[in-house]
Amino acid sequence: MKLTDTGDLWWKSAVIYCLDVETYSDWTGDGRGDFVGLAHRIDHLAQLGVTCLWLMPFYPTPERDDGYDITDFYGVDRRLGHHGEFVEVLRIANDRGIRVIVDLVVNHTSDKHPWFVDARSSRDSPFRDYYVWRDEPPADQPENVFPDQEDGVWTLDKKTKQYYLHSFYRQQPDLNVTNPAVRDEIAKVIGFWLQLGVAGFRVDAVPFLLDTAGVDDAHKLLADPHDYLRALRSFMSRRSGESILLGEVNLPYAEQLRFFGGAEGGELDMQFDFIVMQRMYLALARHEAGPLIEALKQRPALPDGAQWAIFVRNHDELTLDKLSEEEREEVFAAFGPEPEMQLYGRGLRRRLPPMLDGDPRRIRMVYSLLFALPGTPTLFYGEEIGMGENLAIEGRMAVRTPMQWTSGENGGFSTAAAKDLTAAVTEGGYGPRFVNVEDQQHDPDSLLSFIRTLAHSYRTSFEIGYGDFALLPQDDPGLLVHSMTWDEGRVVFVHNFSPDPATVTLQLDGVALFDILEGRREAIPEGGAATVVVDGYGYRWLRVLSS
DSSP strands (E only) in 357-501: 376-380, 468-471, 479-486, 489-496
Instruction: Label residue 129 exposed, middle or buried (CB < 10 Å: 0-12, 13-18, 19+).
Output: middle
d(CA 520, CA 508): 17
SS3 442: coil
Q: Catalytic: 255?
A: no
Active-site pick, 85, 204, 267, 269: 204
d(CA 456, CA 529): 29
d(CA 519, CA 138): 63
SS3 354: helix
Active-site pick, 248, 267, 327, 463: 248
Query: Where are the alpha helices (H) located in 240-351, listed in sequence order?
Result: 253-260, 274-286, 290-298, 325-335
Q: Catalytic: 30?
A: no
Is-contact 345 317, C-beta < 8 A?
no
- What does the DSSP assignment read for 203-256? ETTHHHHH--TTSTTHHHH-S-HHHHHHHHHHHHHHH-TT-EEEE---S-HHHH
Instruction: Indicate the DSSP class of residue 532.
Output: E
Q: Residue 205 — φ and ψ, nearest 5°? A: 45, 60
Instruction: Indicate the DSSP class of residue 199.
Output: -
First to last CA, the chain: 22
Q: Which residues are catalytic?
A: 204, 248
